Structure 1
């Protein structure tokens, strides 16, 4: 370190002494040599924004695999810090740490605001089963939240779980036959959840078959009427969407009849409109009500 500082002074040409990194560890910790085959594990750096307890747990687990001595355990901790945590470590007084317990205590104390509060059993009281939430969905949500509760009390959890359920067969069963342990409660809830899901699938299958059975019957009950049975009859006024003809439609009908290329309706199939003129006659439909030249259906 002195040799490095000397080189820095010579390069800068400055007689002022530079800051030298001081260690907060006791001399006995710093004097222990690093094993030749030691490889420091890769650990995500801690910057002070997450739970410090989690970082300590990861660090100790990683160092435990390397079988490092206590001295190496202390000295390696600095290499896992970054940002605010790095600055905090550099501010520790020289020789102020002689055990890992000292390091842990000061580390947790400084970053106490980043420690996540553990859930309490009372927090589960707000975990209600939704109005449209299945028992399987609620059970999955409950287990996920219950795993994070500190000092979990099974007896209290049983009461809270039952009170948070919607009314129904499962709730009534818990009232009549209360389980003895929390494990029994979870097993019973799982069985009811499976039965509820099977019942839902069964209903969906039955409803699907019912819809298929009804579809043909509905078709027979309300057959689509034939075009010629419409009650309004032919329109008497021509529309602008028809292609203009060079000859009256009656003349064209007569020519088509001579050529044998027209098929006349076999019977009167168009009802006479209330607005029809009984003095007019259509040779195509062979009925009164409109003139042949006015027959829109014949034009089409």
Structure 2
């Protein structure tokens, strides 16, 4: 059948379905949750936000499934290890621990930034100023 020509209802139906099939919205399932993975450089806060957006679009998902999918998608880091060592009670408990972890990390980073001098300041303390002249006089040469 040449493109654009419709001879009967069957042709019309086929063309119509092919055209609009891509705009069909499929309901998300728990498979979508387990497919989510935290990126190697993705912040925990961003991963939680993305995970929650997908989780809210799934009509019937248990809290156990949420915890399992969230944990499976985490990168293997300090927070992931803490979840393994201290098992979670439920999804709300997991979100609370994640929030505490985020706050602690942000506070540690802020303290590190406050306590550390900028590299340019440290380097300038070690170097003499550019107008510095070596001392002159009888003791400068080391001979008396």
TM-score by structure 1 length? 0.34
Q: Retained in 1: the 8 A contact 2:27–2:58?
A: yes
Tell me how large the CA RMSD over aligned residues is: 2.5
Q: Retained in 1: the 8 A contact 2:32–2:54?
A: no
Find out whether 1:203 has 2:139 as its counterpart: no
Alignment match, 1:167: 76
Q: Retained in 2: the 8 A contact 1:136–1:194?
A: no
Distance 2:38 2:131 in 1: 49
Report which of the two has the higher share of helix.
2
Q: Retained in 2: the 8 A contact 1:121–1:153?
A: no
Aligned ranges for residues 75-94 of structure 1 at < 5 Å? none
State the 4+ residue runs in structure 1 displaced beyond 3 angstroms: 112-115, 222-226
Show structure 2 runs of 5+ residues with no match. Answer: 1-19, 134-144
How many aligned residue pairs are there?
113
Find out whether 1:177 has 2:81 as its counterpart: no
> Pick from 123, 136, 161: which aligns with 2:45?
136
Alignment match, 1:46: none
Structure index of larger Rg: 1
Alignment match, 1:194: 103
Question: Residue by residue, what CA displacement relative to the aligned partner does 1:150-172 show, whole Å, maximum 9, x if unpaired?
Answer: 21221112111111111222111
Q: Retained in 2: the 8 A contact 1:135–1:196?
A: no
Q: Secondary structure at the match of 1:151?
A: coil
Q: Retained in 1: the 8 A contact 2:63–2:91?
A: yes
Distance 1:200 1:124 in 2: 30
Q: Retained in 2: the 8 A contact 1:121–1:150?
A: no
Distance 1:182 1:133 in 2: 21
Find out whether 1:219 has 2:127 as its counterpart: yes
Alignment match, 1:64: none
Distance 1:144 1:118 in 2: 14
Aligned ranges for residues 188-267 of structure 1 at < 5 Å? 188-207=97-116, 209-211=117-119, 213-220=121-128, 223=130
Deviation for aligned residue 1:115 = 5.0
TM-score by structure 2 length? 0.66
Alignment match, 2:29: 120
Question: Which one has more relative contact order, counting CA pairs under 8 Å at least 6 apart?
Answer: 2
